[in-house]
Amino acid sequence: MTTAGSPSNHGDDRIVTGTSMNEEREVEAALRPRNLSEFVGQHRVRDQLSLVLEAAKLRGATADHILLSGPPGLGKTTLSMIVAEEMNAPLRISSGPAIQHSGDLAAILSSLTEGEVLFLDEIHRMSRPAEEMLYMAMEDFRVDIVVGKGAGATSIPLELPHFTIVGATTRAGLLPGPLRDRFGFTGHLDFYSTQELEMVLRRSAVMLDMKLTTEAFTEIASRSRGTPRIANRLLRRVRDWALVNQLDDVDAQAAAAALDMYEVDSKGLDRLDRSVLDALCTKFHGGPVGLSTLAIAVGEEIETVETVAEPYLVREGFLGRTPRGRIAMPAAWEHLGLVPPEDASAQGLWSLIPDDSTALAKTSQQNEARDAYGHQENLDGILYFDDRD
């Protein structure tokens, strides 16, 4: 857990991070839904994907290449496994950062078998030469292997078996157009509702042999930031707490007590989130304050505040980004049990922030886009103003 004055490793060790922690890969694997009918929520993507796979099976062909985008922990890897399972095909897993040379990609592609599903996580982080090789492979199932260097270099064409790429990205806007165009199906995963997370939790509780009341599921789900990975992680923390406190049945009070102990509050905010909001409200009277000043005030790196804490705070309407700096929104004051001072200059800026920042996050997927005011979207697809001071 991050403490003020000790910069974190970009927040990956936070209990509420959407990215997976090293030690949880195994337990996550056990909790993954194995087919589309077990996959909770994301109805549109699920239905469309089901159609794509069904049609491919009827044609007796491999499925079109599939691109899945969305924040970490929403089920992209799980869906890639389901694609392989439904197509009754083997699955190969790799990722953009692991493919730095076109030779790395050539080695993977040339060893694929007919119909195999290749999952490429963080596909936006692949090197440019590898990406260009992938274009041809995806379209023509062929790669040109270059042998030798300089004037003596020759390229040897290599035919590949038909395969399906399932690409996953948290940054759809960073994918070059030509790569995006080569996917026959693109699905965007959105954050889950509390009810959907309750369903995820119910399923996991059965597998973990835990007994919880309906209210306990709601309590955990509402602290899970719309993310199944976080929901499952919080559930495991509640299990530890129940074990140590010798509780067989977990009710809402027990779940709340356990998560309070881990400093995840009723809105899913952890210590870092709360210290950002607290500094904003108490030290800077609600802002506006520049990002670097805010980061210093909470003893964190600028990047940690910007990429780890802010996206969720903006999405949930606690924090606003304006041309003059970060401001605390009414929800922040309310959540901290504080009353905004009448003369807070941030109040004049509240009206500039759209009411529905969630809708904003959903609609803005082109990172390069600028609106009429020259506002630019950041990598999380959230409208922001660069006010680094």
Order across the sheet with 91-95: list the strands: 91-95, 117-121, 164-169, 66-69, 185-188
| Residue of 20, 69, 46 lying closest to 367 (CA atoms) | 69
176: preceding bond cis by omega (within 30 degrees): no
- The radius of gyration of the chain's CA atoms, rounded to the nearest angstrom, is 23
- Return the residue of 16, 39, 340, 387 that touches ligand ADP, per CB under 6 A: 39
Q: Smaller CB distance to ligand ADP: residue 33 or 286?
A: 33
CA–CA dist 58, 265 (Å, integer): 49
Q: Smaller CB distance to ligand ADP: residue 40 or 298?
A: 40
Name the one range near ligand ADP by CB under 6 A: 37-45, 314-322, 339-347, 374-382: 37-45
Q: Measuring CA to CA, how many Å separate 355 from each of 71, 257, 317, 360?
A: 22, 32, 8, 9
Neighbours of 8 (CB within 10 A): 18
User: Least distance from C-beta 228 to ligand ADP, angstroms?
Assistant: 4
* Residues with a known catalytic role: 76-77, 121, 170, 229
- The identity of residue 118, as a single letter, is L
Segment 133 to 162, residues that bind ligand ADP, using CB under 6 A: none
- Return the residue of 14, 65, 76, 335 that touches ligand ADP, per CB under 6 A: 76
Q: Does 258 bind ligand ADP (CB under 6 A)?
A: no
How many residues bind ligand ADP (CB under 6 A)? The answer is 20
Q: Smaller CB distance to ligand ADP: residue 21 or 136?
A: 21
CA–CA dist 72, 64 (Å, integer): 23
Q: Does 96 bind ligand ADP (CB under 6 A)?
A: no
Name the one range near ligand ADP by CB under 6 A: 31-39, 141-149, 282-290, 308-316: 31-39
Q: Does 31 bind ligand ADP (CB under 6 A)?
A: yes
Q: Does 200 bind ligand ADP (CB under 6 A)?
A: yes
User: Least distance from C-beta 59 to ligand ADP, angstroms?
Assistant: 27
User: Least distance from C-beta 53 to ligand ADP, angstroms?
Assistant: 16
Q: 130: exposed, middle or buried (C-beta count within 10 Å: 0-12, 13-18, 19+)?
A: buried
The residue assigned the tokens 């399923």 is 203
DSSP state of 80: H
Q: Does 72 bind ligand ADP (CB under 6 A)?
A: yes
Q: Which residues face 168 on adjacent strands?
A: 68
- Return the residue of 11, 73, 96, 226 that touches ligand ADP, per CB under 6 A: 73
Q: Which two tokens stand for residue 190?
A: 């959105």
Q: What are phi and psi of 30, to 5 degrees?
A: -70, -30
Using Cβ positions, the residue closest to ligand ADP within the complex turns out to be: 75
SS3 102: helix
Name the one range near ligand ADP by CB under 6 A: 67-75, 105-113, 254-262, 344-352: 67-75
Q: What are phi and psi of 6, to 5 degrees?
A: -120, 95
Q: Does 75 bind ligand ADP (CB under 6 A)?
A: yes
Q: Which residues of the chain form contacts with ligand ADP (CB under 6 A)? A: 28, 31-33, 39-42, 72-78, 168, 200, 228-229, 232
